[in-house]
Structure formats: structure tokens, C-alpha cells
Amino acid sequence: MSKKVRLGIIGLGQQGGAYAKFITDGMVPNMMIGAICDTDPAKKELASSTYPDAPSMTTTSPCSKAATLTPL
């Protein structure tokens, strides 16, 4: 059994949103969303509703504390 890499996404814009979708759709093997950070409160709410299993926040400083991310 292999461990999954936990990825922190900073910014849920076009690229961050695409990466989040790729990961949740299973297009990136052995990876999961560890946390999503965006300074826009509306994007934080979108992240919370779309990706409920991933912690979401509006500042990046607690992002690495919210989940144990896998350093690459």
C-alpha cells in the first residue's frame, strides 16, 4: 500500500482550481489535497463546499499547520 502525497494549493483561481479538480478526479495517482488557501473569502467558501475533506483558509501562514503536507 502506498502513501498519498498531501498537496497544499495556494490560490483557487484557474490553475489552482484545475489542479484541485485533477486531484479529486483521480487524475494524479497517490495525491490528495492537504489544504487550500486563498485570500478571497468567496474562494475559501467555494473550496469548503467543493472540497469538504480539505481544510481551507484565507491566509497562507496557517496552511502548513492545517494539514501535514508532504515535502517534495
Q: What is the pLDDT of residues 1-45, one digit of tens each?
A: 578 888 889 899 999 999 999 999 999 999 999 899 898 999 999
pTM above 0.85, yes or no: no
Rg (CA), the chain: 11
Q: Which three cell numbers stand for residue 21?
A: 479538480
Q: Which three cell numbers stand for residue 6?
A: 498531501
Q: Spelled out in words, what is the top-level CATH class assigned to the domain 5-66?
A: alpha beta
- 53 Cβ partners below 8 Å, 6+ apart? 33
Reduced to 3 DSSP states, what percent helix, strand and coil does the chain have, rounded to the nearest 5? 35, 20, 45
Alpha-helical runs (H) found in 25-71: 41-50, 63-66
Termini Cα distance of the chain: 20
Which tens digit of pLDDT belongs to each residue from 44-54? 999 999 999 99
Where does the pLDDT of residue 60 fall: very low under 50, low under 70, confident under 90, or very high at 90 and above?
A: low
Return the domain boundaries, the chain.
5-66
